């Protein structure tokens, strides 16, 4: 990392909120339609997304490349930090540490999640219509379900706490009072988005999303 | 009075991390110092200097440390006391758990024992031009006045004694990271707030926008919790985030 790191760091920070923060909110809402509207609601949401113009280009420039830049640079930032919560066990220092740990978890989770879903669609192994059922067969495995819960909580915390940091990094929340208020707001955002994701994960486990084969499979693994 | 207190026979136990030379391996030695009422860490170190005998009775070399003001304004005596970086001169033994553990601050190169080299902090101040240039070939006359409301918070920032505690507490000040540390960022805010210093504000902001500058802050906020002078470091950092961000947009737009 020779030269000026100010600009890349600013870009890293911006990408975390725009577009990635917007994307995680969109993703949570789309998935939530599986809880609210069941199989029907979820496939309607997917159809809506796929009806958007230039959807592949939007995916590339608003999701994949930003995640790649923010994720890889984020790993480097995490590598550059010490963990000293042992000596300084203050709330914000824990959040600082959690921001880095959840970043690493999110990186692994996104890679796996992308491989299982979007890549399989791209390879033609799964169609858009089959995604709900595909998710059902994934999360019916207790181990994968646990991994999804961890991944989703990590990504959501990372975004919500990152939003708090973003407001500081851009000089929007300056004094301690503003930072305290924004911290409370960001934790509410964490709870709301996490709830949306968790509800949809539970919804995907339901019978409605199970195909005949997957139902058999899930009843075996759930016992 | 000291004698009568000593007569009670109470001892204070110390475990001190020592080093003979900068690159030498660290080792610990234990000492037992006669207790005196109101003693602080420096007075205990002075006692060890007078009588360099370890707790097991063996003679050793006197422990080296640094101190000047003895009233928490010079910052020279900073060390890690029972796990927390702080000033040895203002740390009272009565308020410490025993045994008292003394270590040099790990962020800085150790010269010997508890003596560290804080040069990087002074280099940081040079880098951000933490001064007000008034030298010239003729008398520039009196500068503009500062509003009292501003002077009050600026005075708080001016209390920084470059002690290094905030750098020691910061998880982003380490050898994998070129982060300049909280203290000098707060000094940019101080000198940019000064009516004359303000004339060079852009230079200081640009110094913070270089490699290892303000972007190295990861908002752990340990600094503000640790500063012995109660300097609002995180407020300074956020304020400079705002100013450097504005400066970046101005540069782009060519304003
Ligand atoms: C792919 C793996 C990811 C890694 C390894 C990662 C890593 C990091 C790290 C280490 C930071 C801390 C920067 C600092 O405070 O100095 C950070 C900040 C942030 N991240 Fe991520 N991140 C990842 C994914 C995401 C995603 C998917 C989002 C959005 C939903 C996101 C949103 C943010 C935000 C908003 C910030 C705060 C920016 C700031 O400090 O100004 N990150 N990330
Ligand atoms: S800001 Fe506080 S902790 Fe940091 S060097 Fe100055 S006095 Fe020490
Ligand atoms: S000797 Fe000056 S601060 Fe302790």
Domain harbouring A147, CATH code: 1.20.1300.10
The whole-number pLDDT of residue A219 equals: 46
Long-range contacts of B143-149 (CB under 8 A, 24+ apart): B143/B195, B143/B196, B144/B195, B144/B196, B145/B195, B146/B193, B146/B194, B146/B195
A167 falls within a domain: yes
B222/A93 CB distance under 8 A: yes
Widest CA span in chain A: 58
Average pLDDT over residues A62-73: 98
Average pLDDT over residues A184-197: 98
Query: Which residues 46-85 of chain A have a CB within 8 Å of chain B?
Result: 77, 79-84
pLDDT confidence band for A1 (50 / 70 / 90): very low
Collect the ranges in chain B with pLDDT lower than 50. Answer: 1-2, 5
Question: CA A196, CA A193: separation in Å to the nearest integer?
Answer: 5
Phi-psi region of B107 (alpha: psi -120 to 50; beta: other; left: phi over 0): alpha
B171/A93 CB distance under 8 A: yes
Partners of residue A79 in chain B, C-beta under 8 Å: 176
The whole-number pLDDT of residue B7 equals: 53
Whether pLDDT at A213 is above 70: no
DSSP-assigned letter for residue B198: G
DSSP B53-100: B-TTS-B-PPPP---SSSSSSS-TTEEEETTEEEESTT-BGGGS-SSE
Partners of residue B172 in chain A, C-beta under 8 Å: 80-82
A86 falls within a domain: yes
Task: Kindly give the residue spans of alpha helices, DSSP state H, lying in chain B.
Answer: 2-7, 41-50, 119-127, 148-158, 165-169, 182-193, 201-208, 222-226, 233-253
The whole-number pLDDT of residue B140 equals: 80
Whether pLDDT at A214 is above 80: no
The residue whose CB lies within 8 Å of the most ligand 1 atoms, and thus the one to mutate among B219, B234, B245, is B219
A77 falls within a domain: yes
Q: Is the CB of A113 under 6 A from ligand 1?
A: no
Report the number of distinct structural domains present in chain A: 1
Nearest ligand to the CA atom of B81 = 3
* Residues β-bridged to residue B150: none
The whole-number pLDDT of residue A215 equals: 45
Tell how far the Cα of B30 is from the centroid of ligand 2, in angstroms. Answer: 30
Tell the residue nearest (CA) to atom 2 of ligand 2. Answer: B227
Tell the residue nearest (CA) to atom 1 of ligand 2. Answer: B183
Whether A177 and chain B come into contact, CB under 8 Å, resolves to no
B171/A92 CB distance under 8 A: no
A223 falls within a domain: no
Average pLDDT over residues A39-66: 94
Q: What are phi and psi of B180, to 5 degrees?
A: -70, -25
A222 falls within a domain: no
A50 falls within a domain: yes
Ligand 2 atom, smallest distance to B164 CA = 5
Cα distances (angstroms) measured from residue A208 to each of A36, A205, A211, B38, B161: 12, 8, 8, 74, 67
Whether pLDDT at A154 is above 90: yes
The whole-number pLDDT of residue A2 equals: 45
Whether B98 and chain A come into contact, CB under 8 Å, resolves to no
Q: Which of A9-18, A208-217, B169-178, B185-194 has the lowest mean pLDDT?
A: A208-217
% chain A with pLDDT above 70: 93
What ipTM did this prediction achieve? 0.92
Tens digits of per-residue pLDDT, A88-132? 999 999 999 999 999 999 999 999 999 999 999 999 999 998 999
The whole-number pLDDT of residue A3 equals: 57
A121 falls within a domain: yes
Domain housing A146: 6-217
The residue whose CB lies within 8 Å of the most ligand 3 atoms, and thus the one to mutate among B44, B68, B116, B227, is B68
Q: Is the CB of B77 under 6 A from ligand 3?
A: yes
* Six token digits for residue B72: 């928490």
Q: Is the CB of A151 under 6 A from ligand 1?
A: no
B215/A5 CB distance under 8 A: yes
Question: CA B181, CA B237: separation in Å to the nearest integer?
Answer: 10
Whether A176 and chain B come into contact, CB under 8 Å, resolves to yes
């Amino acid at each position: 990392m020779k030269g000026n790191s100010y600009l890349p760091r600013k870009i890293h920070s911006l990408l975390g909120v725009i577009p990635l923060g917007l994307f995680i909110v969109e993703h949570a809402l789309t998935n939530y339609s599986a809880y609210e509207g069941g199989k029907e609601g979820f496939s309607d949401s997917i159809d809506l997304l796929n009806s958007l113009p230039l959807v592949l280009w939007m995916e590339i420039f608003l999701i994949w490349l930003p995640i790649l830049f923010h994720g890889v640079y984020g790993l480097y930032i995490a590598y550059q930090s010490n963990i000293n919560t042992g000596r300084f066990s203050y709330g914000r220092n824990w959040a600082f540490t959690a921001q880095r740990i959840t970043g690493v978890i999110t990186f692994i989770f996104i890679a796996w999640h992308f491989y299982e879903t979007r890549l399989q669609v791209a390879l033609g192994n799964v169609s858009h219509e089959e995604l709900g059922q595909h998710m059902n067969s994934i999360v019916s495995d207790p181990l994968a379900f646990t991994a999804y819960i961890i991944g989703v909580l990590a990504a959501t915390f990372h975004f919500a706490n990152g939003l708090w940091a973003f407001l500081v990094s851009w000089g929007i929340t300056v004094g301690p009072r503003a930072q305290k208020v924004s911290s409370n707001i960001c934790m509410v955002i964490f709870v709301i988005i996490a709830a949306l994701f968790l509800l949809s994960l539970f919804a995907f486990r339901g019978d409605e999303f199970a195909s005949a084969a997957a139902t058999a499979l899930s009843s075996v693994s759930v016992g | 009075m000291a004698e009568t207190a000593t007569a009670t026979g109470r001892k204070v136990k110390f475990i001190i991390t020592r080093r003979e030379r900068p690159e030498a391996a660290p080792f610990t030695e234990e000492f037992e110092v006669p207790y005196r009422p109101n003693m602080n860490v420096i007075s205990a170190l002075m006692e060890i200097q007078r009588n360099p005998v370890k707790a097991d009775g063996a003679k050793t070399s006197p422990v080296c440390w640094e101190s000047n003001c003895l009233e928490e304004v010079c910052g020279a005596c900073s060390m890690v006391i029972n796990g927390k970086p702080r000033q040895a001169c203002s740390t009272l033994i009565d308020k410490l758990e025993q045994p008292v553990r003394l270590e040099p601050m790990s962020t800085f190169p150790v010269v010997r024992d508890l003596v560290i080299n804080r040069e990087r902090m002074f280099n940081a101040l040079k880098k951000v031009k933490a001064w007000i240039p008034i030298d010239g070939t003729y008398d520039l006359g009196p500068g503009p006045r500062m509003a009292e409301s501003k002077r009050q918070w600026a005075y708080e920032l001016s209390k920084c004694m470059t002690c290094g505690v905030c750098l020691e507490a910061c998880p982003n000040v380490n050898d994998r990271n070129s982060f300049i540390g909280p203290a000098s960022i707060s000094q940019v805010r101080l000198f940019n707030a000064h009516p004359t210093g303000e004339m060079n504000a852009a230079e200081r902001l640009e110094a913070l926008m270089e490699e290892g500058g303000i972007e190295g802050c990861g908002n752990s906020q340990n600094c503000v919790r640790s500063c012995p002078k109660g300097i609002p470091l995180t407020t300074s950092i956020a304020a400079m985030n705002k100013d450097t961000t504005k400066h970046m947009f101005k540069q782009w737009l060519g304003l």
